[in-house]
Structure 1
Amino acid sequence: MKKYILIFLSFYSTFLFSQKIESYKLNKQEIHERELENATDFPIYKAFEYQDKGGVFELVLAENQKIISKKDTLNTKIQAVCVVNDHGGFLEKWRINDLLEDYDPKETTIWFWTKYCSTKDLDGDGYIDPVIVYGSKTEYGEIRRVKIITVYKNKKYVIRAVECDLDYCRSFKKDQNWNSLPQKIKTYIDQLVVKLRKEQNLLLKDG
């Protein structure tokens, strides 16, 4: 009898634990209902809600849409903000800001690469580890910079890459604290880098 009780309790606790981990994209109405427009300085491009052992969080990706035309929307600044709803207001957990840099050739737009962003529990500890990916393009339409930012326990771990045909102007750098990440997260990001290289024809390496 004790054996069956233990199996049941194990299954029940596993079920409860799994229920706490979820994530989904918010539609425009849900963004408005949650008043997420007040959480960022720019128009919202995409927003996500996720729940883990720490609570319910809203992740907002915003781009300033400096130049809007029928063919293109060009951004000079982007912003990612993670907030938790706190008694009708927002308590900010972390924020990412970036903008165009004056490289040669000059950057003309910066944008979130949501295809490669994720809100998953990568190491299985019950807390979601957001991965934010964004890039920039030059005036010739070529990808110039790529950043991959992993947020683990509200701390950012960044990979910074600059694409260039010439060795001297190409770079791929991980933060010094990178190796302190759990191995499961590092493996996931390494696989993401391989995917980016393959699907976007990027080098993502040092000279």
Structure 2
Amino acid sequence: MKKYILLLFLIYSLTVFSQKTESYKLSKEQIIQRELNEVSDFPIYKAIEFQDKSGIYDLVFTENQKTISKKDTLNTKIQAICVMNDHGGFLEKWRINDLLEDYIPKETTLWFWTKYCSTKDLDGDGYIDPVVVYGSKTEYGEIRRVKIITVYKNKKYVIRAVECDLDDCRSFKKDQNWNMLPQKIKTYIDQLVIRLRKEQNLLLKNG
């Protein structure tokens, strides 16, 4: 009897812990089919579907596209919304909102930096740990603000940076709860910051 119970436990453990996390970008057709346009007031720029031990989720990146021209699309507001597929509907798990701030020089647009966003299991516990990155630009085309938001167990852990040529107006701050993140996730974000500095010629540091 004990051997039988042990066998069942091993089978259960292998089933649970061998579940793979998956993530892929949705096409425009898939976005329409899933009726994801209903979750936001803004046009969807990109949508990602991911699955982990807790279920299937859709993460949509939306921008209000206030001014659209051949050269530029300028946004005054953005939203990232994560919803769970729930019996044919959507159950919102978390949301990120931001809008232009009153800086000098003036901010003219903000946008999701989706090449730096990720939906991966960063600490190997079987659950996806989304990372959302976005920035803003000034009227001179220079990057002004950068935010890196990590969602761990449905809580947000944020890095806020302001780029500036002068030391006293430059900043790089991590949330007070940052050290509550697992070390593997903190290491991933530290490497992402290094990558942003290198690829985008950013300072991402305090004065």
Counterpart mapping for 1:1-40 below 5 A? 13=14, 17-40=17-40
2:175 is the alignment partner of 1:175? yes
C-alpha separation in 2, matches of 1:99 and 1:23: 28
Q: For residues 155-179 of structure 1, what are the alpha-carbon distances to aligned partners after superposition, in whole Å with 9 as ceiling and x for unaligned?
A: 0000000000000000000000000
Could you tell me the percent identity over the aligned residues?
83
C-alpha separation in 2, matches of 1:31 and 1:23: 15
> Which residue number in structure 2 is paired with residue 49 of structure 1?
49
Residue 171 of structure 2 aligns with an amino acid whose one-letter code is S
Q: For residues 173-193 of structure 1, what are the alpha-carbon distances to aligned partners after superposition, in whole Å with 9 as ceiling and x for unaligned?
A: 000000000000000000000
2:149 is the alignment partner of 1:152? no
Q: For residues 72-95 of structure 1, what are the alpha-carbon distances to aligned partners after superposition, in whole Å with 9 as ceiling and x for unaligned?
A: 000000000000111221100000
C-alpha separation in 2, matches of 1:199 and 1:96: 25
C-alpha separation in 2, matches of 1:199 and 1:66: 28
C-alpha separation in 2, matches of 1:54 and 1:146: 30
C-alpha separation in 1, matches of 2:96 and 2:87: 24
> Which residue number in structure 2 is paired with residue 111 of structure 1?
111
CA deviation after TM superposition for structure 1 residue 41, in Å: 1.5
- The alignment's TM-score, normalised by the length of structure 1, stands at 0.93
> Which residue number in structure 1 is paired with residue 191 of structure 2?
191
C-alpha separation in 2, matches of 1:61 and 1:72: 18
SS in 2 for 1:80: strand
Q: For residues 89-140 of structure 1, what are the alpha-carbon distances to aligned partners after superposition, in whole Å with 9 as ceiling and x for unaligned?
A: 1100000000000100000000000010000000000000000000000000
C-alpha separation in 1, matches of 2:54 and 2:171: 36
> Which residue number in structure 2 is paired with residue 130 of structure 1?
130
C-alpha separation in 2, matches of 1:103 and 1:59: 30
CA deviation after TM superposition for structure 1 residue 17, in Å: 3.9
SS in 1 for 2:124: coil
CA deviation after TM superposition for structure 1 residue 31, in Å: 0.5
Contact 2:19 2:53 in 1 (8 A): no
SS in 1 for 2:41: coil
2:90 is the alignment partner of 1:86? no
C-alpha separation in 1, matches of 2:124 and 2:86: 26
Structure 1: unaligned runs, 5 residues or longer = none
C-alpha separation in 1, matches of 2:101 and 2:25: 30
> Which residue number in structure 1 is paired with residue 143 of structure 2?
143
C-alpha separation in 2, matches of 1:18 and 1:152: 21
After alignment, is 44-53 or 85-94 more displaced? 85-94
C-alpha separation in 2, matches of 1:153 and 1:197: 28
C-alpha separation in 1, matches of 2:31 and 2:17: 27
Residue 147 of structure 1 aligns with an amino acid whose one-letter code is K
